[in-house]
Structure 1
């Protein structure tokens, strides 16, 4: 299990939706010891209110809550309350991982929880150690997604990225260095900033860096996704409403404009930063209303005529060409010039290939640490064994075009680490005879290919001293000479996952707990996938 100091550094924002206050407090206390920041609500209505106002990394919800479920509960809450929380979280908190807690662990309920995107499923009474490990894994998953570019040990520019509000960003390439210079220049002012770039390039990380380096750093950073919501929901979320504005509006509620400006209770009071992600997907009528807020610094809640002053720093992001969209009448030109006080364009990963080795090595270390089994109670946690990666494998990663950018790179690296560490744990493949774990081209999916990409000779692993590692007959997950992921041309991701699970179970002699640890997933997730793929 990671140390407390590590989790303080990587503290997650956790929302606990639980009608039994005593149980909620027990969960919160267990997580606070690892640095996680917990918010407790007692029902669906209160959870929805938190979803609209804040951002969470992990959401933990009870399945069955009675009507009038605690603080914030409503008569509408009931046997399916937890599933409704999961459904709302998927729509309003897509960045979060969700965990279902219940005393009713029937298979249909578990299936329903996973249908709504649950990370995992845990039954009462809770084993607090299992619970903490599950939440820590979920938090680690979210943090890895956020760290589109990570700064781990060995990266040449750690001093640059780990201080001065640039945490999580590797900037070894010249384009990224220039971007961070621009961030430093624009952050102290209140000028609106537009960040553009392909999906997966790290636009939210740059927005966070702008906020952390600004005079508003101690106030709220509020991310808000403008895509995938109806116009009425979008307007209510942005502007808020007064009691009686529409059916169901039982009390006044501020929108994210006011919330980012320091309204409402909670941490981070004072004028903050509002990050409008996917602003290119905002409906035209809402664009006009946003323009008025930018020009006047005032908002009017739904159902009210009272203008309220807001002091907010606007940072926007999109993967669309807004100039072309304005020519086509899909985006207001006047709004474009308003939000583009300063413009930062993030290059795709293929245009900053020199950063790939740094990102890859950091991700390997993070995934390896995540997969290291927890030490028994009373024992100190051993340092994780960080796999090395051969030059040929690194050259192949660097040569690939990465259409999904860093997000895709991280997914591939996770698969590589699982395969290499799984082989090493079973004593086959992946090693070099010196106890080390090494990743080679056998572990890279065939989709990550280039005509000029090198291969490790004969599918074996070249050790640092020039010797050849355990890559002969019987090595690898396939059991044959040269077997490995790289040889599976045209294999789907589903087939790869099925094979990884089957072979990891074989290598662990059917020990599902150990297999789940090696695969980096919860045991319930493993059970679900075993049934899904017909594996026993």
Structure 2
């Protein structure tokens, strides 16, 4: 409450304090900008006149406009000893929610503040719901299919989903790009007790370091140049539901520390705010990065890895699920025939054979895009092998089986390991990080083996 009469402030505080957790009084309206930077206020009771002898209400209208500019979500109740209807009408036009005339009765003050407080909370919840709805709509607009598989390798994944879904355990999903990590995360959410609450996805690989805190933790209006209004972060939007952090392996070490703090405390502080907000989320993370090797290299925090991988799921690449290729081809062919109104399009036998024996280095996503492009570009009923421009390893498993490699001169394990390390280093022109990644080793392990073999 802002009023130049300290007796009024004292009385209001005595009336309101038993009913509200935080009641603050202030006699100097010039502190309004500082107060709004320090905390969020649902309701402000603002006097119309602060200078002794003033009765025109201009000071109150000035600070009302300033409040509406700095904190548009805060509801303002005007307070004056002069029951001038013209001033009341002007204050309402400027954005005041209600008007009190001093001296007020205790019940009148309490009822007015309580009603306006409930209205403020309701409007804030509506704004949050709109933000969630926008996020959900973006998700709905992105076409994705249910998990399609009949392979034994994926049955193990399905069994793990069934076991972990109805818990609050943090889940880490590992797998190459395009293997369906997001679909698995959504399947866990849909089968959990949080299914009716939001599923909020964050692509950490697409967020710049400068926007990381704002996107995840939210910001207050004016916290930075483009912060034109208060905005909840993804943690707050996921409250009660599931937060899916995709590409977590791409987060830098300084931001990993901030993320770990939020996950440990289950609290976030918006950029520009001083008070944390508690959040109730179920965390699912995914990455195509070798996190354990990155921990060895000092590029990923070990304590963060332990925090996010209570349960770990590894998705097999499509080349290890050959049984699923015909199902996926049929699914996406049907999907895009309907989408592009080409119901008559079919695959000829040679095209079908080409897709079955391709290595699919880009996994399901590559298969999806290949089928979509072929359907879009087709000008005839049958799709032929030439209609599928596959840019990865064109020689599929059948071709590789036909060209048996020459046997090595020795099958001694240390000899084979030494040759593999030497070839990997040569292939990557001395880049040990890339060589280690191809060999499936951490850099420390690679150094140790190079020293062992004198490389």
Counterpart for residue 366 of structure 2: 408
Counterpart for residue 179 of structure 1: 157
1:331-360 per-residue CA deviation (whole Å, 9 max, x = no partner) reads 111000100011111111111111000101
User: Which runs of structure 2 are paired with 1:61-100 in the superposition (5 Å)?
Assistant: none
Asked if 1:290 is matched to 2:268, the reply is no
Task: Find the aligned partners of 2:355 and 2:246 in 1 and give their Cα distance.
Answer: 29
Q: Would you identify which runs of 4 or more consecutive aligned residues in structure 1 move more than 4 Å?
A: 49-53, 451-454
TM-score when normalising by structure 2: 0.54
Task: Find the aligned partners of 2:212 and 2:136 in 1 and give their Cα distance.
Answer: 16
Counterpart for residue 312 of structure 1: 281
Counterpart for residue 331 of structure 1: 300
SS at match of 2:323: helix
Task: Find the aligned partners of 1:410 and 1:396 in 2 and give their Cα distance.
Answer: 15
Counterpart for residue 323 of structure 2: 354
Where structure 1 has 5 or more consecutive residues not aligned to the other structure, the ranges are: 1-45, 58-94, 97-138, 148-167, 262-270, 374-383, 425-429, 431-438, 455-536
Task: Find the aligned partners of 1:412 and 1:176 in 2 and give their Cα distance.
Answer: 23
Task: Find the aligned partners of 2:205 and 2:397 in 1 and give their Cα distance.
Answer: 39
Task: Find the aligned partners of 1:315 and 1:309 in 2 and give their Cα distance.
Answer: 18
User: Which runs of structure 2 are paired with 1:372-521 in the superposition (5 Å)?
Assistant: 372=341, 384-385=343-344, 387-390=346-349, 392-418=350-376, 422-424=379-381, 430=382, 439-445=383-389, 447=391, 449-450=394-395
Where structure 2 has 5 or more consecutive residues not aligned to the other structure, the ranges are: 1-126, 400-455
SS at match of 1:450: coil
The question of whether the paired residues in 1 share the 8 Å contact of 2:178 and 2:363 is answered with: yes
Q: Rg bigger for which structure?
A: 2
Task: Find the aligned partners of 1:195 and 1:451 in 2 and give their Cα distance.
Answer: 27
Q: CA deviation at 1:56?
A: 4.2
Question: Where is the helix percentage greater, Structure 1 or Structure 2?
Answer: 2
Q: Tell me the C-alpha RMSD between the 2 structures.
A: 2.7
Bigger relative CO (Cα 8 Å, ≥ 6 apart): 2
User: Which runs of structure 2 are paired with 1:108-123 in the superposition (5 Å)?
Assistant: none
State which of 185, 188, 197 in structure 1 corresponds to 2:175: 197
User: Which runs of structure 2 are paired with 1:145-294 in the superposition (5 Å)?
Assistant: 146-147=144-145, 168-261=146-239, 271-294=240-263
SS at match of 1:205: helix
The question of whether the paired residues in 2 share the 8 Å contact of 1:53 and 1:259 is answered with: no
Q: CA deviation at 1:185?
A: 0.7
Task: Find the aligned partners of 2:134 and 2:376 in 1 and give their Cα distance.
Answer: 37
Counterpart for residue 37 of structure 2: none
Over 3 Å counting, the alpha-carbon distance change for 1:242 and 1:52 in structure 2 is: farther
The question of whether the paired residues in 2 share the 8 Å contact of 1:226 and 1:277 is answered with: yes
Counterpart for residue 446 of structure 2: none
The question of whether the paired residues in 1 share the 8 Å contact of 2:177 and 2:288 is answered with: yes
Over 3 Å counting, the alpha-carbon distance change for 1:55 and 1:323 in structure 2 is: same
State which of 289, 300, 313 in structure 2 corresponds to 1:344: 313
Q: Which stretch of the first structure deviates more once superposed, 292-301 or 440-449? A: 440-449
Over 3 Å counting, the alpha-carbon distance change for 1:423 and 1:248 in structure 2 is: closer
Task: Find the aligned partners of 1:223 and 1:183 in 2 and give their Cα distance.
Answer: 18
Q: CA deviation at 1:235?
A: 0.6
TM-score when normalising by structure 1: 0.47
The question of whether the paired residues in 1 share the 8 Å contact of 2:295 and 2:301 is answered with: yes
Counterpart for residue 54 of structure 1: 135
SS at match of 1:232: coil
The question of whether the paired residues in 1 share the 8 Å contact of 2:245 and 2:285 is answered with: yes
The question of whether the paired residues in 2 share the 8 Å contact of 1:192 and 1:341 is answered with: yes
1:275-302 per-residue CA deviation (whole Å, 9 max, x = no partner) reads 1111111121221111112211111222
Task: Find the aligned partners of 2:294 and 2:324 in 1 and give their Cα distance.
Answer: 31
The question of whether the paired residues in 2 share the 8 Å contact of 1:369 and 1:386 is answered with: no
Q: CA deviation at 1:398?
A: 1.8
